[in-house]
Amino acid sequence: MGSGAACGDPPAVAAVLLLCAGDVPSDALRDRYRVVDFFASDRPVVPLHQHLPAFLAAVAAEPDPPRAAVLMGGGSIRADAAFLDAVPSLRCVVSTAAGVDHIDLAECARRGVVVANAGTVYSADVADHAVGMVIDVLRRVSAADRLVRRGLSHLPPLGSKLGGKRVGIIGLGSIGSLIAKRLDAFGCVVSYHSRRPKDSVRYRYFHGARALAAESDVLVVACALNGETRRIVAGDVLDALGRDGVLVNVGRGANVDEAELVRALREGRIAGAGLDVFEDEPIGLPAELLSMDNVVLTPHVAVWTSESRSDLRRHTVANLEAFFSGKPLLAPVLL
C-alpha cells in the first residue's frame, strides 16, 4: 500500500485564511472549511505590522496551507506582493468590501490568483445612507438634534428642501445608480460623471468632476478608489460646487482632498458636507470637522446593517465554494 489516504478516508477539508475581524464570523465558515483565523489566534494582533508577518509565516509552514484568503476591506491588511510572498499557496483572495484598493490586482494577475469582492451586497444600504446624509445636511437634522439636547436656546438656521435640487453623482456603478434612482424619486435633477457615458441611463453625463460640480447643488461621491479617482474632488471641484453646494462622500476617503475640504468648509466656499469615509481611517479624522455644525459624520457605517451582514456571509461562502469546486466566482474582479 502506498502512503496516500485509504479509499474510505474522508476528503481533506480545505483551509481558508481569515483576515477580517467581524465582517464574516468564523462560525459561518467552520462548517465547511478549516479556518485559520488571525484575529482568533492566541498571539497579539495589534499593531498589525508587528504580528501579522510571524502569523503568516506559521500559516505558510503548515502541511496543508490555505489556498484561499478572506480579507477585510479598508486597507489595514493589503494583498500585495509581500503578502502573497508570505503565503505562496494562495490562489484566491475574497474581499469583504466592494472596493479593491487594498488588493494589488496586477500582482494577483501575475501570480494567477483570482479575486472576488462583495459585489452588490452593500449597494442598497450605501445608497440609503447617502440619501440620508444628503437630507441630514440640507435639512440640518443632526444640527437640530444637538440643539434640542443642549436645551434649545435658539432655533437652528433654515434648512433647504431636497426636491428640485441638482444632484451630481461621481461614479454611476451599482451604488451610484441606486442613489440616482432614489433621488430621482425625490424630484431631483440627476447628472453624473463616470469613466464613460452609460447608454442605459437618461441622466446627463459630464466628462469631468469639475464640470459636474459646476452644474450641481449637491455632489455625491460614490466611485471606487484608484489612480484616476484619488482626490478627484480637490479644491477646484469644491469651488465649482460653490458656497451653496453640499458634498457627500460614501466612496473612499481618499476620493476627496480632505485638507482642501476642511479649508473650503471653514472659509464658507461650500455650504456643508456629509462624510461616511475618511482619508486616514479610523483615527485620522481632521479634528476641525468635529466642531462644524454643517457637517454630518459617520464612521464608515453605510454598509452596516444586519441584512448586509447576513448577505455578506452567504456571498462569501458562495464565492469560496465556487473557487474550491472549480466554478466561476460569483463576484469576480477583472484583473
CATH class of 123-297: alpha beta
Q: Would you say residue 199 has pLDDT above 60?
A: yes
pLDDT tens for each residue of 58-96: 999 999 999 999 998 766 799 999 999 999 999 999 999
Give the strands of the sheet with 92-95, arranged side by side.
34-37, 15-19, 68-71, 92-95, 114-116
Lowest mean pLDDT among 13-27, 94-108, 286-300, 307-321: 13-27
Q: What is the mean pLDDT of residues 263-289?
A: 93
User: What's domain 15-121+307-324's architecture?
Assistant: 3-Layer(aba) Sandwich (3.40)
More confident residue, 241 or 99: 241
Question: Do 232 and 211 contact (CB within 8 A), yes or no?
Answer: no
pLDDT class of 152 with cuts at 50, 70, 90: confident
Alpha-carbon distance of 159 to 138, in angstroms, equals 6
pLDDT tens for each residue of 26-54: 788 998 999 999 988 666 666 777 889 99
Question: Do 217 and 191 contact (CB within 8 A), yes or no?
Answer: no
* Phi, psi of 274, rounded to the nearest 5 degrees: -125, 120
Q: What is the mean pLDDT of residues 208-214?
A: 98
Q: Give the three cell numbers for residue 55.
A: 502569523
All CATH 3.40.50.720 domain ranges of the chain, comma separated, are 15-121+307-324, 123-297
More confident residue, 255 or 334: 255
Q: Would you say residue 2 has pLDDT above 80?
A: no
Q: What is the mean pLDDT of residues 195-222?
A: 97
Q: Would you say residue 316 has pLDDT above 70?
A: yes
Alpha-carbon distance of 140 to 134, in angstroms, equals 10
Residues classed as catalytic: 252, 281, 300
In the predicted model, what is the mean pLDDT of the chain? 92
Question: What is the 3-state secondary structure of 113-146?
Answer: CEEECCCCCCHHHHHHHHHHHHHHHHHCHHHHHH
